[in-house]
Chain A
């Protein structure tokens, strides 16, 4: 699976939201890839429903944010896509085949939440990334030159090669996350699931991870990111799935991320700051800065349309909006 592993250097960085790049991406020749979640319902062992009649589908070259409050069924949906739980009804298909077959082909890779990992386990960075190769190895899991090459390429790509001998507990939060991302790369997974990848990660690492995820999508992967960090979704996802025990909405981010949808998903959980009700006055103009301690803010414009952090890469959008207004 050389596709996602090939070192693409700095190309591919930037925003794919522009029409030109999107068209270019569509024209590129990916091996076909699709993920289809079709009306699945999942029960907890105690008989409660974790997910009810949830459906969405994704195709190659997509970064999709899976967004919902705690207990909305995000991790259950993840487990269904990875084949860890069996839905009582409905199906999950990857390339039209059951998940079990996709797992055998090493198509699905998973980057776990930091809390799920035993950081004191006696393994170093190389050991962890090599675990991504086990599926491709023989019965005895003896690594060959190709496996070592894949591990090195993956570690270099996430910028962790210099740390290859470190015990994993001796890394910072962002470095830990990059190691597990490298494992997914070494595996050659094309459906990559990340569970809360930005928790406990510094801002620079977050940017670096986002850049890498965009590159992987451009290489024809499907990236599914579960997050409760609303503001980050418009910045790096093409599509979003809003979850609250079922799929409330799915599709392009700007269609899914509307105030009514988010209110349905989060109820009264979201804090709001209305500029027109605040002490901000007209003479402040656009000189208003928003700081948050952890998560990115999600900002809606006048008609409830999404606002983005950077103008660069979104010149088309800025042009359309300015024509509407002035």
Chain B
């Protein structure tokens, strides 16, 4: 019994577990919108595009969130520009832009190995997170949750039917910007926990899992936030015993939960679908007789 409580005796472990749970919850909340809006690839692009920003911010001593945010925004503008300004399709333009930003980030870091730690950006470093960084994360999380709680219905309408939002006189341009800003901010926050490579999992998997479990958006918001928080908490906790990477533990756990939902979800799971198909086939067989 005592061994199970050991992680909580270390300040760094306790901090890591709590911060992970916070970030996991916020990412889970956002993931409900991202998956339904079809921005998953955009989240992946953002998580890589913020790397040079983080590197530059550390080099010149600015808050890392600021640097990350600026390059994330630049990448989004570049993606839109490549897509609309040429015949190149969106997925290709996203691919070109985010890899070039990521490459630039790697280059910057490799030129200054003493000042910036490559590993902590790529793989996250929640165990060694500094107090100023925690403060940034808490601010980002509080703002994101507050904005989402206040405006989730508008954001839902924006994801579902932007045309209707516009005919109601709602400024969809603002909502687009708002959702993107929240996405960029949470990406930056999650970078610390699981690293640039795995951020996108935190921003997709909980939402995708919740989507399989419910047909109501309000429920999906709760579910995906809770899934994100619980899996991040449990993953960080388990990483102490496994002596493995925190990010790896969290994302693997999220994937396990997703697989369970994928197979066993009462209505939208694979097994339920095949049961339904069999039942329909049987009914048709009976009517044929």
Q: Which residues of A contact B (CB under 8 A)?
A: 45, 82-84, 100, 103-106, 108-110, 112, 116-118, 121-124, 127, 131-132, 134-135, 139-141, 167, 183, 187, 189
Contacts and interface: CB of A to CB of B under 8 A. Distances in A.
B157 A106 contact: no
A187 B130 CA distance: 51
Interface of B is mostly: helix
A127 B221 CA distance: 15
A110 B215 contact: no
Given A110-B163, A112-B161, A118-B160, A135 B215 contact: no
6 shortest interchain CB distances as A-B pairs = A135-B168, A141-B153, A103-B169, A167-B215, A104-B169, A122-B217
B114 interface: no
Nearest to A101: B169
B215 A122 contact: yes
A139 B152 CA distance: 11
A76 B133 CA distance: 49
Contacts of A135: 168-170
A123 B166 contact: no
Interface in B28-49: 36
A108 B168 CA distance: 8
B50 to A, nearest CB: 29
A118 B163 CA distance: 13
Contact of A108 (B153, B157, B167, B211): B167
Residue from B154, B166, B168 whose CB has the most chain A CB atoms within 10 Å: B168
Contact of A110 (B154, B164, B170): B164
Contacts of A183: 164
Interface of B: 36, 84, 150, 153-154, 156-157, 159-161, 163-170, 211, 214-217, 219-220
Contacts of B154: 134, 141
A189 to B, nearest CB: 8
A54 to B, nearest CB: 20
B168 A187 contact: yes
Nearest to B217: A122
B224 to A, nearest CB: 11
Nearest to A169: B215
B18 to A, nearest CB: 30
Contacts of A117: 161
Contact of A84 (B166, B170, B216, B220): B166
A277 B3 CA distance: 95
B161 A127 contact: no
B39 to A, nearest CB: 13
Instruction: Indicate the member of B156, B160, B165, B169 with the most A CB atoms within 10 Å.
Output: B169
B166 A83 contact: yes
